[in-house]
Amino acid sequence: MGCRIFVGMVLSLATALLALQTLAKNYPARPVRLVVPYPPGGATDFTAREISQALAASLHQQFVVDNRGGAAGTMGHNIVAKAAPDGYTLVVGTFGGLVTGPALMGAQLPYDPENDFTAIGLAVHAPWALVLNPAVPAKSVKELIDLAKGAPGKLNYASTGTGTPNHLGMVLLLMHAGINMVHVPYKSAGQITVDLISGQVQSVFSGVPQILPHAKAGRLRVIGVGHPVRLSALPDVPAIAETVPGFNNSGYYGLLAPKGTASAIVERLNGELKKAFGAPETARRIESQGVVASTSTPQEFAALIRKDLVLWRKVVKDADIKPD
């Protein structure tokens, strides 16, 4: 009797494994929706299109980019958190939607970044660049810190709103440096760029792709990057950590599915994503835009999100930042 039960269990396990293998082999059998939690344009959209093109080519199926901006990126994440876990609705998860937004909003957020998604893999690191209007008399991070110390509360910085990555990144720098600057929130990154060039605001932590053309034309001055090392797109701009040891303000984008998505699908997508973003030609193309091609296992990506949530929740608490 016991032997028959054991044999039955082995056969059931073998059947289940075969079903998973068949599922992975046949996936995707129809177009896959790739939700991007921001409007078209910018580094998120650029990364999403790199992902969709790479996966469509390797898996011989359409990956349709669906831009769903709103609520600082949290709307698009929530759509996928509530979707069926069948592998046909994925999200290009962002640092804002997975880390800084949840760190600020806590239980007010309609999804849980740690428990409502299945991580698939990292695609890029998207460092923030510290950018000044050229009229600001500072050509380095040290000079900016010294200027702020000499005139507390006289300098200002823009962001796309309270609790967004560029806001919290500056808060972290101010805490590290022991200085004070005035926060000027905006509703759009495009308006920040316009006002920064005209001198209406003095500084911002910006995504590199958005400010790269203006920096090259001399309309804006980039004095540091939040990545631990210098970027190939800005080789002469030092990492802020060279002046402020331990400082790191580098976001990232990666692929996630709803919680409960079959491991066979996750592993297949991860393998194709790593193959695409680990290719030298892809890395060169991406890094020319000021982001850094990166890869990971699903487990490594999930661990990165958990680690950063701890850090940025502490920043929000220590700075006593409240949602608007």
* CATH code for the domain in which residue 66 is found: 3.40.190.150
Residue 225: domain span: 128-242
| pTM (two decimals) | 0.87
- Residues whose CB falls within 8 Å of the CB of residue 47, separated by 6 or more in sequence, listed in order: 92, 123, 124, 126, 253, 286, 291
Domain for residue 4, yes or no? no
Band (209; pLDDT cuts 50, 70, 90):
confident
Question: What was the pLDDT predicted at 9?
Answer: 56
pLDDT over threshold 60, residue 19? no
What's the pLDDT at 24?
Answer: 65
Residues 175-197: what's their mean pLDDT? 94
314 sits in which H/E element: helix 298-318
Distance, in Å, from the CA atom of 137 to the CA atom of 226, rounded to the nearest integer, reads: 21
Give the CA distances from residue 18 to residues 11, 15, 59, 65, 220, in Å, rounded to whole numbers and listed in that order.
10, 5, 20, 31, 58
Please indicate, yes or no, whether residues 121 and 259 belong to a single structural domain of this protein: yes
- Look at residues 242, 266, 296 and tell me which one is the last residue of a structural domain: 242
Number of compact structural domains in the chain: 2
Most confident stretch, 106-110, 245-249, 255-259: 255-259
SS3 content of the chain, % helix, strand, coil (to 5): 50, 20, 30
Cβ–Cβ under 8 Å, residues 275 and 127 = no
Q: What is the pLDDT confidence band of residue 290, given thresholds at 50, 70 and 90?
A: confident
CA distance 115 to 163: 21
Residue 11 lies in a domain: no
Confidence of residue 154 (pLDDT cuts 50, 70, 90): very high
Residues 133 and 233 in one domain: yes
Domain end among 202, 218, 242: 242
Domain boundary among 242, 265, 294: 242
List the single range of 20-29, 116-125, 246-255, 312-321 with lowest mean pLDDT.
Answer: 20-29
Tell how strand 32-36 and strand 89-94 pair up: parallel
As a whole number of angstroms, the distance between CA 36 and CA 68 comes to 6
Amino acid sitting at position 263: S
Segment 137-153, tens digit of pLDDT: 999 999 999 999 999 88
Instruction: Provide the residue type at 127 as one letter.
Output: P
Output the pLDDT for position 14: 44
Q: How far apart are CA 67 and CA 80, in angstroms?
A: 12
Give me the percent of the chain exceeding a pLDDT of 70.
Answer: 93
pLDDT at 6: 60
| One domain, residues 112 and 132 | no
Sign of the torsion angle spanned by Cα atoms 218, 221, 223, 224: negative
pLDDT at 42 (0 to 100): 75
Secondary structure E strands in 54-164: 63-67, 89-94, 117-132, 156-159
264 within a domain of the structure (yes/no): yes
pLDDT value for 10: 55
